[in-house]
C-alpha cells in the first residue's frame, strides 16, 4: 500500500506532518501506471500514541491535529481502489485506512472511506455488479450509522457489526484474523 514516514527533513509545506505516517491514495493511470492521487497522514508521534512508559495508549491523545490528517483541499477519495480494479465478486467497505489495512491483511478485498461522513454519491456506482458488499461497522453508534447509510445505497450490502466499542483493527487484535473472515463468511 506504499506507506511512508515523514521524518525530520521535509519539503516546505509538509512540516506539520513530521512524525506521521504518509498514506498515499494510489490510482492506476490510463497506461496502467500507479500514481498518487492524494496523501493523508496517520499520526504515530510517541507523545500522542504512547504513555510515559512507552506502552501504546488504548485511547490516543492528539492535540492540535487528528489521528488521520488530510492536506488542504482534500475532497475525499476511496482508499485502496486497486481492489476495485481486481476481479472479486465480493468486497468489503470499512471506515478509515487502518481498518482497511487490517481487513486486507485478513485476505479480504476491501476499500476504505475517510471517516463516518466520507461517503460521496458517486461512490455508489463503483459497487454495482458485486454479489456481496460487506460494510464493516465499528461497534459504536457512529459506526452503525455509517454502515446503515452506506448499505442503503448498495442493494447487495450486508452490515457486519464489530463487537461493542471495537473497530475492525481492535476486533482482529482481540480475536485474530479468522474472526473477521468468519464474520464475512469467508472461512
In the chain, domain spans: 4-70, 78-184
Model confidence at 33, in pLDDT bands (50, 70, 90)? Answer: confident
CA distances from 130 to 21, 40, 153, 157, 184 (A): 32, 28, 13, 9, 14
pLDDT at 75 over 70: yes
pLDDT tens digit sequence for 146-177: 999 999 999 999 999 999 999 999 999 999 99
Predicted pLDDT at 87 = 80
Can you tell me the distance from the alpha carbon of 34 to that of 131, in angstroms, rounded to the nearest whole number? 27
User: Which of 86, 186, 90 shows the shortest CA–CA distance to 134?
Assistant: 90
Q: E strands, 29-66, where?
A: 34-43
Average pLDDT over residues 73-101: 92
Do 22 and 1 meet the contact criterion of CB atoms below 8 Å apart? Answer: no
Q: What is the Cα–Cα distance from 111 to 123, expressed in whole angstroms?
A: 11
pLDDT at residue 76, rounded to an integer: 86
Q: What pLDDT digit, counting tens, does each position of 126-142 carry?
A: 999 999 999 999 999 99
Give the fold, CATH level 3, of 78-184.
Dna Topoisomerase Vi A Subunit; Chain: A, domain 2 (3.40.1360)
pLDDT of residue 42 exceeding 90, the answer is yes
At residue 39, the pLDDT reads 93
Look at residue 1 and tell me whether its pLDDT is greater than 70. no
- The torsion defined by the Cα of 12, 15, 17 and 19, in degrees rounded to 10, comes to 120
Look at residue 106 in the predicted model and tell me its pLDDT.
97
C-alpha grid cell for residue 122? 458517486
What pLDDT score does 150 carry? 97
Q: Largest Cα–Cα distance of the chain, in whole Å?
A: 50
pTM for the model stands at: 0.89
Band (pLDDT 50/70/90 cuts) for residue 74 is confident
- What backbone phi and psi angles, to 5 degrees, belong to 99? -70, -30
Angle made by CA atoms 185, 105, 49, in degrees to the nearest 5: 120
Amino acid at each position: 500500500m506504499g506507506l511512508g514516514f515523514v521524518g525530520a527533513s521535509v519539503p516546505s509545506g509538509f512540516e506539520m506532518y513530521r512524525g506521521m505516517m504518509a498514506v498515499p491514495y494510489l490510482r492506476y493511470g490510463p497506461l496502467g501506471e500507479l500514481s498518487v492521487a492524494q496523501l493523508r497522514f496517520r499520526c504515530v508521534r510517541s507523545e500522542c500514541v504512547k504513555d510515559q512508559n512507552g506502552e501504546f495508549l488504548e485511547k490516543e491523545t492528539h492535540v492540535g491535529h487528528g489521528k488521520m490528517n488530510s492536506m488542504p483541499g482534500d475532497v475525499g477519495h476511496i482508499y485502496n481502489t486497486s481492489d476495485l480494479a481486481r476481479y472479486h465478486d465480493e468486497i468489503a467497505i470499512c471506515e478509515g485506512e487502518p481498518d482497511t489495512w487490517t481487513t486486507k491483511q485478513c485476505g479480504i478485498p476491501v476499500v476504505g472511506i475517510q471517516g463516518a461522513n466520507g461517503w460521496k454519491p458517486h461512490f455508489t456506482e463503483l459497487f454495482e455488479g458485486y454479489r456481496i458488499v460487506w460494510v464493516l461497522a465499528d461497534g459504536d453508534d457512529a459506526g452503525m450509522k455509517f454502515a446503515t447509510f452506506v448499505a442503503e445505497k448498495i442493494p447487495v450490502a450486508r452490515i457486519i457489526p464489530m463487537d461493542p466499542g471495537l473497530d475492525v483493527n481492535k476486533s482482529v487484535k482481540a480475536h485474530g484474523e479468522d474472526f473477521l473472515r468468519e464474520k464475512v463468511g469467508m472461512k
